[in-house]
Structure 1
Amino acid sequence: MPIDSVGPTGNLLLDALSDPDRALLAPDLERVTYAKGQIILEAGAEVTHVTFPCNYTVLALVVTTRDGRTAETATIGHDGMAGRLVGLGHLPAFASVMVQIGGPMLRLDARRLEAAADQSAALRDLFIRYADCLVAQLLQTAACNALHAIEQRCLRWLLTLQDRIVGDTLPVTHEVLAAMLGVQRTYLTRILRELQDQGLIRVGRGRIIILDRPAVLATACECHGRVRRYCEAVLGPVYGAGD
């Protein structure tokens, strides 16, 4: 069913488009719902569609090694999109796209996005600027994983997830968080206990609650703040107000 070309979609990137530019995409946007843990794009597969998370749905770009270990390289919420980026042509997916928090999304044939970008310089510019922000997140995550302690990396990940949902309660299990950070579950459990003892978070069954965001921001490494400030500068109101 086509979406309303004027009303909000729940995806900040789409909602930042002018009405005429959104009308270029609206007839071809398909409403879909995915559950937590689903893989919507396998690494190595042809990228035929782009997916826009809506509201508080969250996706993760995940790389898997030969021995089966995984690590998250980027988090994508209602401020972005997953799949083919504008201008990159027909390339296979390097990373898998996994649903981190299930919910509604909008799906679009990648060829239709390219066609719309050819018709509108403003639309093309917005999606290219988003691609630049996604690359910034990937680069900063690589630096963070190489240089910073697991405690700081864990807090960065929690802040990044909190940016994309409402409230302080993050619906994430130890198992998922350990997989995203590329560490053993038992090791992560000890780290979470230490962060809880510091009064930064509270750990519950299937959830982690951020108790003091300013303190978490102060304790985490600079990576979360650096990416957020860059995205705010490049995308402006699409990314939201800063801390």
Structure 2
Amino acid sequence: MKELRANALENRLLAALEPSDYALLMPQLRTAYFSQGAVLQEQGAPVAHVYFPMNGLVSLVSIMEDGRAVESAVVGREGAVGAFAGLGPWNAFTRATVQIPATVAVIPTSHFHAAVNRSERIRDLILRYKEALLGQVQQTAACNALHPLEARLARWLVQAFDRTGDARDLPLTQESIAQMLGARRTTVTFIARRLQDAGLISYRRGRIIILDKVGLEHLACECYRTIRRQTERVVPPGPAHLVEFRTAERGDRHFQAKMPYGLVVPDVKAD
């Protein structure tokens, strides 16, 4: 199996762990790349794996009986998909779909649950993240009901910028944006054109490029700032540390200055 050097701790939730707690997860963490449209978990199905995005973006989508869908939350490098299963058996409330191609650190739910049982600090972190994610779900529902589409689209774009690792080039179609925001595609096209005319974004077929993030922040509704505050109470940006570690796979010593510590893990090909 090919080995891939990856900074799993580019995921801020993992980076928030103490080294001793992270060591409980490291032997079972693997990396995988998922392309746009990949489904990580299905609504109503048992959660088999926990995913920690290092980049990219995952949409948590609620599916109605008639097949219509709307996004209830997004997860990027600040969080995890399926983390609640660490607290016990869990069926997914939503479908988790990769919206922007992502490299993720993956761990089987059984191993993650065992680590949570061994560490009160991991359990506390997951409980606090649960509050932040549910807060995002509630805020998104209120946002979709009360705020104009232009402000909601601006909120979504700056949120994507933050959670993908400051990516300005977002591979998004108008159809996918319309589904995420619960809007008509023709209306999204009109709003995107207005944002482009204002110099905030550049839109090409299948891609949105953020040109003025500050301008989008000013246009975004209050929900962007509310969700960001909720998230940063759980995973605030922290100082980098220099940590020596020995990998279980190869026994090599590495030093990592940019992130709290590094990781060498086997590469896992996504289904």
Question: Is there any run of 5+ residues in structure 2 with no aligned partner, and where?
Answer: 239-271
Q: Which moved more, 1:199-208 or 1:74-83?
A: 199-208
* Alignment CA distance shift 1:187-1:110 (3 Å): same
5+ residue gaps, structure 1: 239-243
TM-score under structure 2 length normalisation: 0.80
Could you tell me which residue of structure 1 aligns to residue 103 of structure 2? 104
Query: Secondary structure, in 3 states, of the residue corresponding to 1:82?
Result: coil
Q: How far is 1:233 from its partner?
A: 2.6
Structure 1 length normalisation: TM-score?
0.89
Partner of 1:76: 75
1:90 corresponds to which residue?
89
Q: Distance in 1 between matches of 2:167 and 2:108?
A: 33
Pairwise CA RMSD: 2.1
The C-alpha deviation readout for 1:80-132, integer Å capped at 9, x for no partner, is 10014156421321110001112321211222222211211222222222111
Give the whole-Å Cα distance in 2 for the aligned partners of 1:101 and 1:49.
Answer: 19
Relative to structure 1, the CA distance from residue 224 to residue 87 in structure 2 (aligned partners, 3 Å threshold; closer, same or farther) is same
2:234 alignment counterpart: 234
- Report the CA distance shift for 1:8/1:93 in structure 2 as closer, same or farther (over 3 A): closer
Note the C-alpha offset of 1:78. 1.2
CA distance in 2, matches of 1:23, 1:159: 33
User: Which one has a bigger Cα radius of gyration?
Assistant: 2
Q: Deviations over 1:125-159 (max 9, x none)?
A: 22222111111111110110111011111111111
Q: Counterparts of 1:3-42 in structure 2 under 5 Å?
A: 8-42=8-42
Match of 1:206 in 2: 206
Say which structure, 1 or 2, has more relative contact order (CA 8 Å, 6+ apart). 2
Distance of 1:40 and 1:230 partners within structure 2: 24
> Which of structure 1's runs of 4+ aligned residues deviate more than 6 A?
none
Between the two proteins, the alignment pairs up a number of residues equal to 235
Contact between 2:199 and 2:212, CA under 8 Å: does it hold in 1?
yes
State percent identity of aligned pairs: 43
Letter in 2 for 1:104: T
Q: Does 1:121 align with 2:113?
A: no
Match of residue 241 from structure 1: none
- Whether the aligned pair in 2 keeps the contact of 1:129 and 1:235 (CA below 8 Å) is no
**Pair 1:52–1:234, CA change in 2 (3 A):** closer
CA distance in structure 1 between the partners assigned to 2:175 and 2:197 by the alignment = 20
Contact 1:86 1:117 in 2 (8 A): no
The question of whether the paired residues in 2 share the 8 Å contact of 1:86 and 1:128 is answered with no
1: distance between equivalents of 2:218 and 2:56? 27
